[in-house]
C-alpha cells in the first residue's frame, strides 16, 4: 500500500481522538492531534494574560512561541517553550480559550506551517477541524466524523468525570457553544471537505468506525 496522509475532521466529542489513535496504530502511522496545538496557544495566552481579542498581543505571543510536538514512546508530547504541557491542556478553561483563539487569523497562520511540516512525509493521521478543507486539501483520504450532540456530551462527560467537576449539562452547553463558534467563524470554519467521507458514529463503536475507515483506506491506498 502506498504512503497516505489521512485527515479526520469533526465536532468535539465525535470520537475523533480514539478513532485516530486506533487507525494510526493499525497502519503504523503517526497520529497528530491538531486541537492540542490550539490548546497549547490557549495555555500560553492564559498564562501571559493576553486577551483573546487582542490581535497585537496574540501576534507577539505567536512570534515568540516555540511550540512543537516531540515523539516520545510512539506518541507525540506537546512542548511549549521547552516545557512538556501535554497533561495541562485539557481543562474546561483552556478548552473554551482554544476555541476562541482558533478563530484568529494570526493564530491559524502560525499553526498552518507547523502542521504542513508534520505532514510532509505522509504516513500520518491528522485530527482536527480544518484538516481536509484548509491545511491538507490535497490529503489522500478525508473523513468527517460526526455524532448526535447529546451522545457527544455523554462521551466527553465519561472521559472527564474523574478529572473535572463539570456536570453533563455544563459539558453539553460547552459543546453546543463550541459547535456554533467553530462552525460559524469566518476563517477555516468546521465543515466537511467536499470530498470527505462522512461517518456518523452515533450508532457505532470506535472499532466499528475504524473497520469502516479501513475499507476506504485500503481501497484508496491500493488504487494506484
Ligand atoms: O479538538 P479539540 O477539542 O482539542 O480542539 C480545541 C479547539 O481548537 C476547538 O474548539 C477548535 C480548535 N481547532 C481548530 O480550530 N482547528 C483544528 N484543526 C483543531 C482544533
How is the chain split into domains, by residue range? 5-31+92-218
User: Average per-residue pLDDT in the chain?
Assistant: 94
Show Cβ contacts of residue 50 under 8 Å, excluding neighbours closer than 6 positions: 44, 57, 58, 61
Show Cβ contacts of residue 206 under 8 Å, excluding neighbours closer than 6 positions: 15, 18, 19, 22
- pLDDT value at residue 75: 77
Residue 217: pLDDT over 90: yes
Residue 160's pLDDT band (cuts 50, 70, 90): confident
Helix H or strand E encompassing 198: strand 197-200
Residue 164: pLDDT over 90: no
**Residue 7 CB less than 6 A away from ligand 1:** no
**Residue 41 CB less than 6 A away from ligand 1:** no
- C-alpha grid cell, residue 132: 481536509
Euclidean distance between CA atoms 221 and 224, whole angstroms: 7
What's the CATH architecture for 5-31+92-218?
A: 3-Layer(aba) Sandwich (3.40)
Taking the CA of residue 17 as reference, the ligand 1 atom at the shortest distance is: 1
CA of 222 to the centre of ligand 1 (A): 31
Residue to substitute in 8, 19, 34, 124 for testing ligand 1 pocket (most ligand atoms within 8 angstroms of CB): 34
The pLDDT tens digits for 109-132 are 999 999 999 999 999 999 999 999
Taking the CA of residue 38 as reference, the ligand 1 atom at the shortest distance is: 8
The pLDDT tens digits for 45-88 are 999 999 999 999 999 999 999 999 998 877 789 999 999 999 99
CA of 129 to the centre of ligand 1 (A): 6
**Residue 9 CB less than 6 A away from ligand 1:** no
The model scores a pTM over 0.85: yes
**58, 12 in Cβ contact below 8 A?**
no
Euclidean distance between CA atoms 85 and 76, whole angstroms: 11
Show Cβ contacts of residue 201 under 8 Å, excluding neighbours closer than 6 positions: 14, 15, 19, 145, 146, 147, 209
- Residue 39: how many CB atoms within 10 A of its CB? 25
Amino acid at each position: 500500500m502506498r504512503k497516505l496522509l489521512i485527515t479526520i475532521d469533526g465536532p468535539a466529542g465525535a470520537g475523533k481522538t480514539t478513532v485516530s489513535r486506533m487507525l494510526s496504530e493499525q497502519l503504523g502511522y503517526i497520529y497528530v492531534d491538531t486541537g492540542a496545538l490550539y490548546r497549547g496557544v490557549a495555555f500560553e495566552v492564559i498564562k501571559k494574560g493576553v486577551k483573546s481579542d487582542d490581535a497585537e498581543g496574540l501576534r507577539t505571543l505567536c512570534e515568540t512561541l516555540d511550540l512543537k510536538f516531540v515523539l516520545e514512546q510512539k506518541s507525540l508530547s506537546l512542548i511549549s517553550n521547552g516545557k512538556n504541557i501535554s497533561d495541562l491542556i485539557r481543562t474546561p478553561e483552556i478548552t473554551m480559550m482554544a476555541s476562541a483563539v482558533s478563530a484568529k487569523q494570526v493564530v491559524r497562520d502560525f499553526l498552518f506551517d507547523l502542521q504542513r511540516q508534520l505532514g510532509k512525509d505522509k504516513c500520518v493521521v491528522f485530527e482536527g477541524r480544518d484538516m481536509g478543507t484548509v491545511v491538507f486539501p490535497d490529503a489522500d483520504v478525508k473523513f468527517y466524523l460526526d455524532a448526535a450532540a447529546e451522545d457527544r456530551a455523554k462521551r466527553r462527560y465519561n472521559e472527564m468525570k474523574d478529572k473535572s467537576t463539570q456536570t453533563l449539562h455544563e459539558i453539553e452547553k460547552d459543546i453546543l457553544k463550541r459547535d456554533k463558534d467553530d462552525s460559524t467563524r469566518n476563517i477555516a470554519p468546521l465543515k466537511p471537505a467536499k470530498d470527505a467521507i462522512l461517518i456518523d458514529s452515533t450508532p457505532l463503536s470506535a472499532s466499528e468506525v475504524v473497520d469502516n475507515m479501513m475499507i476506504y483506506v485500503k481501497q484508496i491506498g491500493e488504487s494506484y
